[in-house]
Amino acid sequence: EAGVTQFPSHSVIEKGQTVTLRCDPISGHDNLYWYRRVMGKEIKFLLHFVKESKQDESGMPNNRFLAERTGGTYSTLKVQPAELEDSGVYFCASSLAGTRNYEQYFGPGTRLTVT
């Protein structure tokens, strides 16, 4: 069974540019999450989808970040325009429906560098 995949693995962009990150969850996982780790800090929650619906987007830093999950399969996270402080590793995770206490399976992350 394929795990959570993320694309690209690395992205280097200039301040002011736009970047779109993609996440493909494990097939059949209704729950999809985005997290971010800024260097030296802890991994922080950004938002949670159940199928195509946003359940909790309380961790989204500001309106420069837009997450979508059309059709309830893969998800994209767009940063527009990117700022220096957006640099970090963006993780995607997925879990089965109705499994609040169960494992979240993580992808390898996208390392974003804004220069």
* C-alpha span between 3 and 92 (Å, rounded): 11
The Cβ of residue 30 has, within 10 Å, a number of other Cβ atoms equal to: 17
Select 28 or 41, whichever has its Cβ closest to another protein.
41
> Per residue, what are the HEC states of 48-97?
EEECCEEEECCCCCCCCEEEECHHHCCEEEEECCCCHHHCEEEEEEEECC
Choose between 61 and 108: whose C-beta lies nearer to another protein.
108
> At closest approach, how far in Å is the CB of 110 from another protein?
11
Considering the complex, state which of residue 21 and residue 109 has its C-beta at the smaller distance from another protein: 109
CB count within 10 Å of CB 9 equals 11
Looking at beta carbons only, is 41 or 62 nearer to another protein? 41
Burial class of residue 111 in the structure, from the number of CB atoms within 10 Å of its CB (0-12 exposed, 13-18 middle, 19+ buried): middle
Please, what is the minimum distance in Å from the beta carbon of residue 14 to another protein?
Answer: 23
The site for another protein (CB under 8 A) is made up of 3-4, 9, 31, 33, 35, 40-45, 48, 55-56, 58-59, 91, 95, 100-109, 111
To the nearest whole angstrom, how small is the minimum distance from the Cβ of residue 44 to another protein?
Answer: 7
Least distance (Å) from another protein to the CB of residue 81?
Answer: 27
